[in-house]
């Protein structure tokens, strides 16, 4: 959560970074809070909520092991993001996501900034750019073409890109599989 709000820092979130759900450990905590709230409001159905929570968290526990194993070969690899919204995913899976197409969150990239990103990508041998569907994919493709990179479509919400419509676990499967394939291709 930012200690000061200043537009010169870009479009920052006054209440803190809302992109925490792309870390599945955080999703477990959120699911627990939701189940607790439902149980408090609907005590007669508490057993159902608790059973569904257990099914979800057990599934996530198994998948987290699978996802971490799949991402293990890429720990420490750098990935470029269009927007600074992937810190939790990067931290969970050991990716370095600290180079952005936007010079500041929510501020459109300038040609000068993009040239600096391309130079940095070439110098550091970074080849993967992730871009959410609501951002300018064409800009990401242009940068990727000049830095021998590839663009990976990502989303933080089920249904945000094709192949993520089935819910949270399918979303995370898509993210892990898409990024591990891209990193392996250009690694």
pLDDT (mean) for 99-118: 93
Is 168's pLDDT higher than 70?
Answer: yes
State the pLDDT confidence band at 2, using cuts at 50, 70 and 90: very low
- Tell me: the pLDDT tens digits for 122-142? 999 999 999 999 999 999 999
Q: How far apart are CA 144 and CA 48, in angstroms?
A: 48
From residue 51, alpha-carbon distances to 21, 26, 33, 46, 47 in Å are: 21, 19, 14, 8, 6
User: Each residue of 23-60: b (16+ CB within 10 Å) or e?
Assistant: bbeebeeebeeebeebbeeeeeeeeebeeebeebbeeb
pLDDT confidence of residue 7: 46
pLDDT (mean) for 71-87: 95
pLDDT confidence of residue 107: 86
Strand 78-81 and strand 128-131: the pairing is parallel
User: Each residue of 72-102: b (16+ CB within 10 Å) or e?
Assistant: eebeebbbbbbbbbbbbbbebbebebebbbb
Is 47's pLDDT higher than 50?
Answer: yes
């Amino acid at each position: 959560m930012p200690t000061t709000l200043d537009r010169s820092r870009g479009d920052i979130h006054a209440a803190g970074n809302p992109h925490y759900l792309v870390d599945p450990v955080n999703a477990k905590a959120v699911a627990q809070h939701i189940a607790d709230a439902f149980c408090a409001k609907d005590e007669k159905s508490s057993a159902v909520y608790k059973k569904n929570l257990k099914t979800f968290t057990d599934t996530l526990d198994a998948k987290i092991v699978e996802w971490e194993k799949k991402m293990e070969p890429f720990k420490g690899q750098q990935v470029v993001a269009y927007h600074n919204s992937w810190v939790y995913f990067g931290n969970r899976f050991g990716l370095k996501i600290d180079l952005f197409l936007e010079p500041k969150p929510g501020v459109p990239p300038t040609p000068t900034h993009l040239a600096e990103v391309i130079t940095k990508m070439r110098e550091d041998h970074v080849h993967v750019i992730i871009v959410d569907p609501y951002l300018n994919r064409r800009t990401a493709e242009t940068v990727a073409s000049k830095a021998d990179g590839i663009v990976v479509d990502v989303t933080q919400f089920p249904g945000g890109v094709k192949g993520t419509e089935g819910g949270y676990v399918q979303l995370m499967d898509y993210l892990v599989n898409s990024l591990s394939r891209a990193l392996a291709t250009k690694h």
